[in-house]
Each structure stands twice: as structure tokens, then as C-alpha cells.
A = this chain, B = another copy of it.
Amino acid sequence: MHTGTLYLVPTPLDFGCTHQTPLLECLPQKTIDIAATLSHWVCENAKSHRAFLKRIHELSPLQTPLQSQVMVELPREAHKKGDHQGAFNGKELLQMAMQGHDMGLVCEAGMPAIADPGSSVVRAAHALGIRVRSLVGPSSLMLALASSGMNGQNFSFVGYLPQAQEAKLERLRYLDQWARKSLQTQIFIETPYRNQSMLESLLQTLSAQTRLAVACGLGLPSERIESHLVQVWRERSIKPELKDPCIFLLGT
């Protein structure tokens, strides 16, 4: 029997934000059209996935009505920070693809399986011989990196930093030294309600000559990208408000 294709479907970056980015601002027509043809999904959260499909339907009518769509959620153990170290096997979520249905993989914001869970499902697809196709959409990490002016020819994304204050500062000092030594831009993220305290920790810890960029609310009307040497950040009396999702970057 023919197996289906696993489409990796990106979503807007406005998850959890009060403003919604129009889909035509952040997704190519083809991504919207393919999303509208699918009826079997692996998602982080079925409720937010239904909300996404409603937005798709406004631009490209869903081939299968929303109430008939089949959605399976990634299990808790595959969620944030976990999808590459746990023992979860994504094969069980791909049964419908083995039966010939095309499937979609989505996360709550941006590219699936990047800075988010989902890689276990993609690995399973390769193991099962299911074709994988990645559709174009927003990657907050790449939008932030391009607009930071930092080295885009050598960079790392390191996920979340430790939460405990001392461990966080130690990690920041390490990333600062490594970025300056290797010229490799270091990118990381933080839970939005901790963004402001992350900025304080950064200004307290980094070398004056390190460049620090913060990309906040990418794609939203409130989008703000600040990229300066740390000494310039320190001289400014007004610090940006970081209520929306942020990407932090440090380098040279």
C-alpha cells in the first residue's frame, strides 16, 4: 500500500499574543493550500490547532470539515526540552500515514520540531519510509538572526537557559566567552514572563564589547528588534518592554 506524506506545516508566531498576524503576512499560498487539504494531524495541542485551521479555512476552504478532522496530540513527555532525550517513539502517531493518508505535523508557533517538540515523529517517519516535506513559513530564530546583524555564517541555538539564578549567570558567562572566542552567535529563548529578568541578567553579566540583540514580537505590529553592544545597552536609561515572545542573541 502507498504510504502518505508527512507535511511539516509552520504556523504564525502570534501564539499567546493578543494580536493575530494575518496568515498572508507569514505563510506562502502553497502552505495555506496544502494545510487545507489535510485531514490527519499530529499537533502540540488540539484546541490551538483547531483555531489555526479556522484561520486557514478563511483563505482556503478545508477539504474536510473541522469536526471530521483527526488530531492526535504529542504526548507530554515529547513536549518542550524533551523530544530528543526521552524514549518516546513517534511511530504510533503515524498509523494513518501508513494507511495511505497524508498527515500534517504542527507546533503552536513557527516551524514544527524547531525550538519545539516533534522531531521524534519526523524520525519515526524516516524509519517507516514515509516521505517528509517541509513547508515554508516563519522561523522566529532565523528572522531574529537575520535582523540582529550578528554572524549568520556560524551560529548556535541552545534552547532555554537554566532557571536557577546562579546556574543561569554561569551559563551566560560561558556563552559570552564562547561567542567572543569562536565568533559563533549564540541564540536562546526564555518563557515570556521571565524575559524582563533575563534582560537584566544579560546586562549584569555580559562583557561590555559583546553585542546583544533582542527580537521581540516578531511579525506583530509591536515588533521590536534592538541590537547594540552591551555598553550601549547599559548607557540607555529606557529598557524595552518584553511582554511578547522574545529571541535573545549574543555575539560580536
Determine whether the beta carbon of A111 is less than 8 Å from that of B227: no
**Which residues of B sit under 8 angstroms from A155, Cβ to Cβ?**
156-157
Across the interface, A122 reaches (CB within 8 A) one of B8, B113, B149, namely B149
Max count, chain B CB within 10 A of own CB: residue among A83, A117, A149, A155: A149
**Which residues of B sit under 8 angstroms from A157, Cβ to Cβ?**
153-156
**With the chains together, A141 CA to B134 CA distance in Å?**
11
Across the interface, A28 reaches (CB within 8 A) one of B28, B114, B211, namely B28
The number of chain A residues with a CB under 8 A from chain B is: 67
Determine whether the beta carbon of A147 is less than 8 Å from that of B119: no
Across the interface, A125 reaches (CB within 8 A) one of B137, B149, B150, B151, namely B149
27 interchain pairs, CB-CB under 8 A: A8-B147, A22-B30, A24-B29, A25-B29, A26-B28, A27-B136, A84-B150, A84-B153, A113-B145, A113-B152, A115-B153, A122-B148, A122-B227, A123-B227, A125-B149, A126-B227, A126-B228, A132-B149, A132-B225, A134-B218, A136-B143, A136-B219, A139-B142, A154-B157, A155-B156, A156-B156, A158-B184
Closest 5 pairs (CB-CB, A-B): A122-B149, A123-B149, A114-B152, A25-B30, A134-B147
